[in-house]
Amino acid sequence: MLVRESLQVYFIMGSNNCRGEPLQVVEQALKGGITMFQFREKGSGAKTGKEKHSLAIKLKQLCNHYGVPFIVNDDVDLAVDIGADGVHVGQDDEPLASVKQRCPKSFIIGVSATNSTEAVQAFQAGADYIGAGPVFPTSTKQDAKLPIGLAGLEEINRLTGETPVTAIGGIHTDNAADAIKAGADGVSVISAISQAESPQQAAQLLNKLTAKKR
């Protein structure tokens, strides 16, 4: 599947983002139709060391079973070690050029962009996709920058040519379609699925709202 299509409903989660048992939440989301998953184990209460490693392997196996790409946030060593499908790095993480050197050629490598300058740099450096945001205010990421809004998302889409772009930051069922209208290839969410009464139904609805008219 093309990276662009995999970005449609990109669920990001760590064990500390969900009310239920992480494996059950992710399996529900997979059944609901998420198209890519990012393991982002960070912040207060996040697992570390062997616990983090073994949860990553279990979640990767689950994603492999459903044929959904499994991406690791920040931790390039973990991603390479467990045979993930890719890694996502931000502006303050390991630079893209060095990540590319250390990862298999088949890796999907995503880069965060909080403005159009960062987005163009990521595009020129050969990112496989760009995470543009935060589009709306978010309480999930403690150190999130100021929201760029739909106008900022439109500008990033305009300037990054063919590079697939996903919208992140405060995305829920009530604004997901707006992000697609602003030119994003998909939406990335944490709490919209991880905190939902039914993660499966939340994923199903987001899938419907982001489906591109063929």
Ligand X SMILES: Nc1nc(C(F)(F)F)ncc1COP(=O)(O)OP(=O)(O)O
What are the residues binding ligand X (CB under 6 A)? 10, 12, 38, 40, 73-74, 88-90, 93, 110, 112, 131, 141, 166, 168, 188
123 within 8 A of 160, measured Cβ to Cβ: yes
- Mask: binding to Mg ion, 22-61, rule CB under 5 A, as x and -? ----------------------------------------
- Alpha-carbon distance of 173 to 170, in angstroms, equals 10
**40 assigned to active site:** yes
**112 assigned to active site:** yes
C-alpha distances (whole Å) from 129 to each of 26, 110, 113, 124, 188 are 22, 5, 10, 11, 12
> Least separation, in Å, of the C-beta of 176 and ligand X?
13
Q: What are phi and psi of 112, to 5 degrees?
A: -80, 145
> Least separation, in Å, of the C-beta of 141 and ligand X?
5
Give me the DSSP letters along 122-134.
Answer: HHHTT-SEEEE--
**31 assigned to active site:** no
What residues from 62 to 81 belong to the interface with Mg ion (CB under 5 A)? 74
Report the 10 Å Cβ neighbour count for 30.
Answer: 22
> Least separation, in Å, of the C-beta of 188 and ligand X?
3
CA atoms within 13 A on the CB side of 65: 11
Which residue minimizes CB distance to Mg ion? 90
Closer residue to Mg ion in complex, CB, 27/74 = 74
- Mask: binding to Mg ion, 78-117, rule CB under 5 A, as x and -? ------------x--x------------------------
Q: What are phi and psi of 116, to 5 degrees?
A: -70, -30
Closer residue to ligand X in complex, CB, 56/214 = 56
In a 3-state reduction of DSSP, which class is residue 156?
helix
Q: Is 117 annotated as a binding residue?
A: no
Binding positions for Mg(2+)? 74, 93
Which residues does the annotation mark as catalytic? 40, 112, 141
